[in-house]
Structure 1
Amino acid sequence: MNKNRPIHLDLRLIKLPLPGFVSILHRVSGLLLFLTLPLFLKMLQYSLFSIETYTQLAATLRYPLSKLILISLLWAFLHHLCAGIRYLAIDMHIGVGLAQARASSKWVLFVSWGLTLLIGAWLW
């Protein structure tokens, strides 16, 4: 038995590298998208069922809180998409070096936030 194991591991003191942070955000965004899938399907049903339900949905989506929720879900989609493309490239052994992994993590964050700001400002 290895006697040099840590007795107490304080997770708040561990500094996570940027690729690890992007990986956790990828998982969180995927979970968020999965959990809100029924909401999106209900919105699709309301938009296609009748003109009354469409106007009710459109009126609901005009509130600032509902716009913020949709913009956060837009970020989840864009981050999950960009990080997924990054992981596909890594699976093909593209950008597996330490410097390349850090750079691609920065690009994932930059592109997902940038596109969220651009599309969110257009939707607002």
Structure 2
Amino acid sequence: MRTPSSAPVKFLNLWQIRFPIGAIASIAHRVSGVLLLIALPLLASVLARSLQSPAEFDALRAAATSASGTLILALATWALAHHVLAGIRHLLMDVGIGSGLAQARRSARAALIAAPIIALYILVRGLW
């Protein structure tokens, strides 16, 4: 009889595990939610700073159009787009719409593809 202390130790190699598309969409939904939660205080402080003076507004606009600012805005836009799309997907599945395996895979793939396209579109068009 083996005791728990003599049991062989197994390590999972997370880079070799292949997640199903639904799991990837679900994990990305959680990640995007955390990013949005982190972004809220930053967004509030940026809004407050932008209202202080025209010079402050211009400085923030310049920061937003820099390479790092554009990357941050693109990431935030992806997070918002993905979180909304995946949230709608989850809500529809909760009421029984699209909960079949094939439909769930299609909707997960659609959310994963549409969110970066929306973010790129907003980035290129400068809609923020």
TM-score range (shorter-chain normalised) is 0.7 to 0.9
| 1:73 maps to amino acid | A
TM (normalized to structure 1)?
0.87
Say if 2:62 is the partner of 1:59: yes
Q: What per-residue deviation string (whole Å, max 9, x for no partner) do you get for residues 66-115 of structure 1?
A: 11111111101100010001011011111111101000001101211211
1:83 is matched with which residue: 86, 102, 107? 86
Q: Which runs of 5+ in 1 are unaligned?
A: 1-5
| Alpha-carbon offset, residue 50 of structure 1 | 2.0
Q: Which runs of 5+ in 2 are unaligned?
A: 1-7
In structure 1, C-alpha distance between the alignment counterparts of 2:102 and 2:26, rounded to whole Å: 16
Corresponding residue of 1:10: 12
CA shift, 1:64, in A, is: 1.3
Given the two structures, how large is their TM-score scaled by the length of structure 2?
Answer: 0.85
Residue matched to 1:33? 36
CA positional deviation for 1:47: 1.8
Report how many residues are paired: 119
Q: Equivalents in 1 of 2:59, 2:124: separation in Å?
A: 23
* Residue 59 of structure 1: how far off its partner (Å): 2.0
Partner Cα separation in structure 1 for residue 46 and residue 24 of structure 2: 32
Percent of aligned pairs with the same amino acid: 39
Alpha-carbon deviations, 1:4-47, whole Å to 9, x = none? xx962514232110000000000001001101111111111122
The CA RMSD over aligned residues, in Å, is: 1.7
| CA offset digits 1:36-65 (Å, max 9, x no partner) | 111111111122222222122112222111
Corresponding position: 1:109 with 2:112: yes
